[in-house]
Structure 1
């Protein structure tokens, strides 16, 4: 029932679609989700299918490499998605209607490379409702500040710890201050910080299973939401700072928290549990179309008041994890490394698929 999705929107939750492909754009799928399912944003991801055939044939005829073809296909998809969501962007005065574009993970090892790639993709797409997705690695944090300082919106992804989120907030505030110094209108600069709740639960549940005691197992499925709650508390505190107040007076928007990895992998849990639990004012929930459909069908979302009232419980959960011997910083540092490696592997596989598609036309370099 769409009423559940409207209820979430009324609580201040923006629903974004996780991943786009050209088939969904070409057949009007994204347009219908915006119209009928309260979707107000999306993350870009190259898909497969016949919708790419014509452009691939032209790229192959022009002798494009797989890397060049991938960039051209990606830019086309992102422009199209931005245009579909432009009415939402205009209706919400730029708060929503946003499309997030992941930069090539091979460029995130250093600040200068990250910044150069973000600038290049942003310029190529050339749409005001585009965000650059940049992982929250220590090396990338200065690039996040520089992007914001140049008026480039940023989706900071892979925020795994409260301490890293503190650093992301600092990079965000510094970026807006740089934008002010550069004479830019900060009211037009958007940013979200993505916390992959499902990934956190997967990592922590595995560790609790290794510990193996009934007491440890009783805390399965609680760590990710606890970390999300404490991140949101830090967000609320940042909004009360004098530093933020000065930026808000210039029209700046807060950097919203985005709940990522909301696909439930453990079938012992409800398939909509993250979307139901993570109901917080002025936040974003990133959902696959499958989870969005499940949420509309049988979701039971909590109220935003309940979320904000769970800080003490969240601290208690993390306290028990420490008591069980879970080394959270070490565990999540390893998870970050693995997640970044997964991004790189996915990029290589994507290039291989594009090259195979070019080969269908007989001119793959």
Structure 2
């Protein structure tokens, strides 16, 4: 549902939300679809993950030459070679956005191997390696917010490397991510790093929360449980934004900001609607506030553009109601702490499965 200011997407952007496309492939370079989205000011960044690259490499022969050119029989080395090449090229495509936004947007993420999710030292080491290989100032290294990932995030930020922290489901873990970011900045100051060049986003997952909570509510099966369906995802993200606001009001943050630090922006991930009964734009229009990023699959971007309703800031003023949602969810019999434990564990497992699928796809292509 368009408005007089250039449409729903433009209004969302003007309200302080950066829309980053959750998709990247060589085909997008070849067919001009990425350039078109940028030219229309509909996306100002892009994120990737193993599933995205697996799908891209599986769909046709566009990567065959690049895999051969990697000059290795090792599927992981070949996979990283093509991912680094694509991410570096996307960084160049987004360079004008990066420069125009003074580094805020125009960002492209590349993920460390999910196999390292529980290995702090290996994650930190690979983060440095990938940063050097991409060699673009608007790159971001994606690190999961596992317990082992937290000190790796601190170490990577301390090296002056921009980080996209992924797989955050709980407010408790989000607070730990914020602490890890600030700790990294404090180490960077001690090492005379230029804090103004370090950027980070904290990827808070949305739709997966609804999927798991709604499954448990359906098992409970009473009217009170049914009334809570599809409310937890938005409520959890909105309370995360409250945590973000609290963090940047602290004296600790004020000291870092005075030294040139940039805020770690909340990023809404998993924003494609899983329940067909919900509007496809729910997790975009429902999470509008200043200084956030929303990573959107193209399908979600288009349905928001064509059918979405812009209601202004949909986060401020919701904290009390959002907290009540969780009080009601717990009262109904859903252990939300267990929900987030399950989601993190499953999230890591799904990323590992996607990574292994990607390696199998690459291995098959190399054998041809």
Give 1:1-365 correspondences, 5 Å limit: 3-44=7-48, 45-46=52-53, 47-48=56-57, 49-59=60-70, 62-304=71-313, 306-360=314-368
| Contact 2:19–2:295, Cα closer than 8 Å, also in 1 | yes
Asked whether the 8 Å contact 2:151–2:180 carries over to 1, the reply is yes
Determine if contact 1:209/1:216 at 8 Å carries over to the other structure.
yes
Number of equivalent positions: 357
Alignment check: 8 A CA contact 2:157 2:185 kept: yes
Q: Distance in 2 between matches of 1:65 and 1:156?
A: 27
Q: Deviations over 1:103-125 (max 9, x none)?
A: 11011212101101111111111
CA distance in structure 2 between the aligned counterparts of 1:58 and 1:244, rounded to whole angstroms:
46
SS of residue in 2 equivalent to 1:158: strand
Q: Which structure 2 segments of 5+ residues have no match?
A: none
Shift of 1:28: 1.9
Displacement of 1:265: 1.0
Which residue matches 1:363? none
Structure 2 CA distance, aligned partners of 1:94 and 1:148? Answer: 16
Report the Cα distance in structure 1 between the residues aligned to 2:210 and 2:68, rounded to whole angstroms: 43
Moved over 6 A (4+): none
Alpha-carbon RMSD across the aligned residues, in angstroms, is: 1.2
| Bigger mean CA deviation after superposition, 48-57 or 317-326 | 48-57
Q: CA deviation at 1:56?
A: 2.5
Counterparts of 2:297 and 2:101, CA distance in 1? 23
Secondary structure at the counterpart of residue 258 of structure 1: strand
Deviation, structure 1 residue 192: 0.4
Q: How many angstroms apart in 2 are the aligned matches of 1:211 and 1:335? A: 19
CA distance in 2, matches of 1:152, 1:286: 21
TM-score scaled by structure 2? 0.95
Aligned partners of 2:171 and 2:240 also within 8 Å: yes
CA distance in 1, matches of 2:145, 2:91: 24
Q: How far is the alpha carbon of 1:301 from its aligned partner? A: 2.4
Instruction: Give deviations 1:94-144, integer Å, cap 9, x for gaps.
Output: 010001111110112121011011111111111111111111111110010
SS at match of 2:260: coil
| Counterparts of 2:42 and 2:7, CA distance in 1 | 10
2-side partners of 1:3 and 1:252: how far apart?
Answer: 33
- Runs (5+) with no aligned partner, structure 1: 361-365
Deviations 1:142-164 (A, max 9, x none): 01001111111111111111111
The question of whether the paired residues in 2 share the 8 Å contact of 1:275 and 1:301 is answered with no
Render the CA deviation track for 1:15-72: whole Å, top value 9, x for unaligned: 000020110122222111111142111012422233213222334xx45321221111
Following superposition, the deviation at residue 307 of structure 1 comes to: 1.5
1:180-204 Cα offsets, whole Å, 9 max, x none, are 1110111111100011100111011
Task: Give the distance between the partners of 1:207 and 1:346, measured in 2 at CA.
Answer: 26
